[in-house]
């Protein structure tokens, strides 16, 4: 059976790689993001491989999400897999200096955008008693780091939301998974540092970070398990990344 897969944030990074991966398997794809030109380029690339639908949509707009998802063409309406991938980090300043409007945007996108889409698509999955929601969380939702403040907190939301969805959906055949990547090279740092190419490049300098394809592979694997298996979470880091010791301030202590 051809799987219908809805991928948010398909214009770049993990979402783009995930679309390519599912495209190779012949799935029917809904490609969603704000940059229509990027989505159309991807649609063109996937021509002849799989059916695609481009949805230009800002997920922070709850009404638009509800409206657009309620009018999906019949061939794309029965979604088997929702990949809640769209998200962003803005800034790396400590909390007392961080931009309040950046915090709002991260909450609006990573938390609200994710639940707008989930709330819109879940009733159909429940009615069909079939489906899988794969959220893209982050190691930033598991471990604290300086400057991670609100970004990490939005990903902690994603982690707990994933678990609570599982609790709500017990008794259905719907599966829910949280993928928690570490350092990965995409446009993530370029967005975080407001287009500063040099600063973004420094994040990856001297490292071998995860690639978008690594995350796509994890999403694909989780979704390819037999129906009775629910992969609750997958945490991935590049081999060059690990935990540091807890910080101690010996000056003021």
Q: Which of residues 160-199 bind ligand NDP (CB under 6 A)?
A: 181, 183-184, 186-188, 191
Is 204 tagged catalytic? no
Q: Which does 35 bind (CB under 5 to 8 A by kind): ligand NDP, ligand 8X3, none?
A: ligand NDP
User: Looking at 30-38, 96-104, 115-123, 160-168, which segment touches ligand NDP (CB under 6 A)?
Assistant: 30-38
Work out how close the CB of 169 gets to ligand NDP at its nearest, in angstroms, rounded to a whole number: 22
| Closest C-alpha to 4, from 38, 41, 55 | 55
Work out how close the CB of 163 gets to ligand NDP at its nearest, in angstroms, rounded to a whole number: 18
- Contact track, ligand NDP, 127-166, x by CB under 6 A: ---------x-x----------------------------
φ and ψ of 191, to 5 deg: -70, -45
The residue within the footprint of ligand NDP, chosen from 11, 21, 69, 162 (CB under 6 A), is: 11
Work out how close the CB of 74 gets to ligand 8X3 at its nearest, in angstroms, rounded to a whole number: 36
208 near 238, Cβ under 8 Å? yes
Q: How many residues bind ligand NDP (CB under 6 A)?
A: 29
Q: Does 35 bind ligand NDP (CB under 6 A)?
A: yes
Active-site residue set: 151
């Amino acid at each position: 059976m051809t799987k219908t897969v809805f991928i948010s944030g398909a214009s770049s990074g993990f979402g783009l790689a995930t679309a390519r991966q599912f495209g190779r398997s012949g799935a029917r794809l809904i490609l969603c993001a704000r940059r229509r030109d990027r989505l159309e380029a991807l649609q063109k690339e996937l021509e002849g491989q799989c059916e695609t639908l481009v949805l230009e949509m800002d997920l922070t707009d709850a009404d638009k999400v509800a409206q657009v998802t309620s009018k999906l063409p019949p061939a794309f309406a029965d979604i088997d897999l929702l990949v809640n991938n769209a998200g962003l980090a803005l800034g790396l300043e400590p909390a007392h200096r961080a931009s309040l409007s950046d915090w709002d945007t991260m909450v609006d996108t990573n938390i609200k955008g994710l639940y707008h889409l989930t709330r819109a698509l879940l009733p159909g999955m429940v009615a069909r008693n079939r489906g899988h929601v794969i959220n893209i969380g982050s190691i930033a939702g598991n471990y604290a780091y300086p400057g991670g403040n609100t970004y990490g907190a939005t990903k902690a939301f994603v982690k707990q939301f994933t678990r609570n969805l599982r609790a709500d959906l017990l008794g259905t055949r719907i599966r829910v998974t949280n993928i928690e990547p570490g350092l990965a090279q995409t446009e993530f740092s370029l967005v975080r540092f407001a287009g500063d190419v040099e600063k973004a490049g420094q994040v990856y300098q001297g490292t071998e970070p995860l690639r978008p394809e690594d995350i796509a592979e994890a999403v694909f694997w989780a979704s390819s398990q037999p129906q009775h298996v629910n992969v609750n979470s997958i945490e991935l880091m590049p081999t060059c990344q690990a935990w540091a010791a807890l910080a101690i301030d010996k000056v003021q202590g």
